[in-house]
Structure 1
Amino acid sequence: CLKYRRVDRAYKIIVHLCQRKDDQKLLILKQISVEQMTKEERQAAQNECQVLKLLNHPNIIEYYDNFLAEKALVIAMEYAPGGTMADYIQKRGSSLLDEETIMNFFVQIVLALHHVHTNKILHRDLKTQNILLDKHQVVLKIGDFGISKILSSKSKAYTVVGTPCYISPELCEGKPYNQKSDVWALGCVLYELWAILERNLPALVLKIMRGNFASISDRYSDALRSLIVDMLNLDPSKRPNLGEILARPICMKTLLHLYTTIGSFSIRYCIILRHQQSILSPLLSVVYMWGGDILSPLKLPVPNADIVQVALGRTQRTGITKAGKLIGWEQSPPGMDHCLLPGTVDSSEQQFSFHFLDGLSGVTMKQIACGDLFTVCLTDRGIIMTYGSGSSGCLGHGNYKDVNKPKMLEALLGYEVVSLSCGVSHVMAITNEREVYSWGRGDNGRLGLGSREAQLLPTLVPITLPHEPSSVHCGVDCSAIILNNGSALVCGSNRYNKLGLDIDSHESSMQEVHRDEVLTFCPIRSNPLPKHHLVQLEFGTAHAVALMDSGDCYTFGSNKYGQLGRFTAKDGEQPRHVSTLGAKHICRVSCGDSFTIAVSTGSCKTFSHLI
């Protein structure tokens, strides 16, 4: 245990802040004395453990374990370093919260409470003292389920419990109550967030109970004022339920904000985007695809909108329009007209049609990436949405379930993601605070977490970076982080030295000249890469290509199929400049399974003796 220790004598509870030995993670141990407890009190303590076991939500304090020690029940749970919402309000002093912040906090509480009610549980003690914040004071988590009650379908509870300041009118009158009592408490919390200047909380709640509380300032919208009034209706039947609350436009707007490079080259296919200027029309997007059974570039149909990015996986062919809409291409019956690049051969055996993805009204996409049977999207608000196959845990929702439509990644709510990348079966992302998260399969240590275990939820990569990360790059079984000073960190499989970790034995006196794989991120060692400023690092199955800020291109790894762009077919495990590109200034590179693509202004080069 650490020094922090809090004692609640009224309830015989001692709270310890502890550090777990195996991973140094901070957690809370709630020690509840059972020696002098009545049978009902022991039941309440056991009830908290049972309730916590049922709940799994990013806005609810996570339960780890419970055990008996020295005549006390000890509950191990998540530590929220940001303190309580009550403390947060108190520290604000006379500074009012803006409406956007209030709604951001409120919607997170509603989402958590909705999860609680979905599991047929009443919280019955919702208050700002039981709402906790993360270290950034952005993500809220509901805690303290000591007096919760599990309900059978459509049942009502009768026991009068809860904090007096937040007890609903029906509880005060001894009437049966249900989820609407939690809605009342939720309304009190929302009103308290607005009435931040009110220091006499009992007096404030007394006004609420009598239905004559002060009207909300004109500083806030009519929608917010109406929401508070409806939630604090003395008649529980007239209060909205949580689903109706979330469906309100003021909440939907916040909910979407909470949850929500040109060209992509996969192992078997290529899809590339170019722009062409017409004398009679503005800049237009043209998308071509080839690979697999498509032997020459095939023009894909596009909507009457500019395409700003394309991506593809094993079965997905996707893109983003300039307006932020998500578009997909599917194979269509023969007969559709298509156009080829000049000099190419007709490839009419496969044709495609496009469609916009449903269910994304009001969401603007700015980045998309595809893995093996799954897709990851990034909204303009920095919210990740995923859909597709959940077989590798790459969707990040904590399970292996498939998702048909883009679903918000709840585990990263409260974090603004600025960049992401997909491998075949793992994902990496960078937040605006320059923290790196990874999830999916962990074979070969590709997640950089120090193990080969899979992660079903985004997990913070435990690294102390000398400089801020600017981009992440996922390969088939490896990953890279490029820092803002042009250096790079890599992890995963290093076969054929595709991570650039091997040292030339003739140039170095170091004992370790080769590494098969690394489980944590470490700097590139192979010369001359550490001496250059990298802007992009892409991986194939057994080779890699690095792009420098000078526009020069270096390749290394296996050259079995000529993918290194060299005159010799020998493997080139040490990075070498691609001289076959001549003096061209390369602006983008990428790798497939056995080929490499380099794009310069207005042209495209491929490396492979098969092409």
Structure 2
Amino acid sequence: MPAEDSNTYDLDMEPFVEVDPSGRFGRYSDLLGTGAVKKVYRAFDQEEGIEVAWNRVRLRNFSEDPGVWKDDERNTLNFITEVCTSGNLRDYRKKHRHVSIKALKKWSKQVLEGLEFLHTHDPCIIHRDLNCSNIFINGNIGQVKIGDLGLAAIVGKSHVAHSIIGTPEYMAPELYEEDYTEMVDIYSFGMCLLEMATMEIPYSECDSVAKIYKKVTTGVRPQSLNKITDPEVKAFVEKCIGLPRARPSASDLLKDPFFSELNNDEESDPTN
């Protein structure tokens, strides 16, 4: 095959399935992640020459930002964000089964730092749908980021929200009572750590949402909690999924002895 044809062939290997109105961003067919109201696809920024994430959300209202556009035909909202190269934490954990407790702590600390930012923001923001499928990772540097804020609630000074929304396996019991604060995110984080430690979605023993609801609202813990072999990890999870008033804030959890090893490493690292 002639050299000039070879370049054309390479370009045609993975064609865009959609291009944004400006012609700058091209979307590929592969899905990076999905949430309650959003799907995230791998895409390419032709101007900067980098991979990005193409986010598609079903919403009525949308921003006039140039990186956001409405698709009236599909009744969706599209916007561009950075891409996390290794996808979501659930799939990454399944791919890499042998992970140290220290690595779990590093991921957990970064998630809590994200929650601390949301919860101490003015106005206060509650994520409401935190789970391992919308926590994303750049595996080559171990960087973890919270995504899919499509269901987030801005609650301001009251810190109280009133609508039932989220992923059942990760929803705190008070969410079902329609009267809750940002502490529901701490509960969800605890369930995320439980999944990270066991590679099992909480309440996977239940075959319906109704059964999950019954167990959560009556205080029955997921069976996978007993599969955590490290007592320190188990105790930390239990601290996060306790009663609302007993749950520490994200800021408090970051100061917990659970992260002492990481904090000491950071203090002794001359590059910090």
User: Could you say which TM-score interval applies, normalised by the shorter chain?
Assistant: 0.7 to 0.9
Task: Verify: 1:226 aligned to 2:235, yes or no.
Answer: yes
CA offset digits 1:82-120 (Å, max 9, x no partner):
01111012224xx45321111111111111111111211
Q: Which residue of 1 aligns with 2:115?
A: 113
Secondary structure of 2:60's counterpart equals helix
**CA deviation profile, 1:455-487 (whole Å, cap 9, x unmatched):** xxxxxxxxxxxxxxxxxxxxxxxxxxxxxxxxx
| Aligned twin of 1:215 | 226
Superposed CA deviations along residues 375-426 of structure 1, whole A, max 9, x for unmatched, are: xxxx25xxx33xxxxxxxxxxxxxxxxxxxxxxxxxxxxxxxxxxxxxxxxx
- CA 1:145 to 1:250, structure 2 compared with 1: closer, same or farther past 3 Å? same
Question: Which amino acid in 2 is paired with 1:17?
Answer: R
What pairs up with 1:351-366 in 2 under 5 angstroms? 363-364=267-268
Task: Classify the secondary structure of the residue corresponding to 2:187.
Answer: helix
1:29 aligns with 2:47: no
Take 1:246 and 1:89, find their aligned partners in 2: how far apart are those partners?
A: 22
What SS is found at the alignment partner of 1:145?
coil
Alignment of 1:255-270 (within 5 A): 255-257=263-265, 260=266
State the Cα deviation string for residues 416-463 of structure 1 (Å, max 9, x = none): xxxxxxxxxxxxxxxxxxxxxxxxxxxxxxxxxxxxxxxxxxxxxxxx
For residue 250 of structure 2, what is the aligned residue in structure 1? 242
1:80 and 1:8 map into 2 onto residues whose CA distance is 11
C-alpha distance 183-8 of structure 1, shift in aligned 2 (>3 A): closer
Q: CA deviation digits over 1:47-86, x for unaligned, max 9?
A: xx69xx9xxxxxxxxxx93123455422111111101111
Q: How is 1:242-391 mapped onto 2 (pairs within 5 angstroms)?
A: 242-257=250-265, 260=266, 363-364=267-268, 379=269, 384-385=271-272
Q: Is the 8 A contact 1:82 1:137 kept in 2?
A: no
Task: Report the AA paired with residue 226 of structure 1.
Answer: A
Cα contact 1:29–1:75 (8 A) shared by 2: yes
SS at match of 1:203: coil
- Cα deviations by residue, 1:246-273 (Å, 9 ceiling, x for unpaired): 111222432443xx3xxxxxxxxxxxxx
- Corresponding residue for residue 60 of structure 2: 42
Alignment of 1:395-474 (within 5 A): none
Would you say the 8 A contact 1:8–1:14 is kept in 2?
yes
Equivalents in 1 of 2:43, 2:264: separation in Å?
36
Query: Is the CA contact 1:147–1:161 (under 8 Å) kept in the aligned structure 2?
Result: yes
* SS of residue in 1 equivalent to 2:205: helix
Partner of 1:91: 95
Taking the aligned partners of 1:129 and 1:79, their CA distance within structure 2 comes to 14
Of 147, 159, 163, which aligns to 1:159? 163
Q: Is 1:19–2:44 an aligned residue pair?
A: yes
Distance 1:194 1:14, change over 3 A: closer
The TM-score normalised by the length of structure 1 is: 0.35
Deviation at residue 193 of structure 1 after TM alignment? 1.2
TM-score (norm 2): 0.74
Aligned residues: 234
User: Is the CA contact (8 Å cut-off) linking 1:2 and 1:17 kept in structure 2?
Assistant: yes
Q: Which has the higher contact order (CA 8 A, sep 6+)?
A: 2
How big is the shift at 1:200? 7.4
Aligned match of 2:205:
203
CA positional deviation for 1:7: 10
Letter paired with 1:182: D
**1:555-566 counterparts in 2 under 5 A?**
none
- Deviation, 1:230, is 1.2
Which amino acid in structure 2 is aligned with residue 110 of structure 1? L
Letter in 2 for 1:42: R
User: Which structure would you say has the larger Rg?
Assistant: 1
Taking a change above 3 Å as real, the CA distance of residues 8 and 134 of structure 1, as seen in their structure-2 partners, is closer
Q: Counterparts in 2 of 1:505-524, with a 5 A limit?
A: none
Alpha-carbon contact 1:246-1:252 (below 8 Å) kept? no
**Match of 1:103?**
105
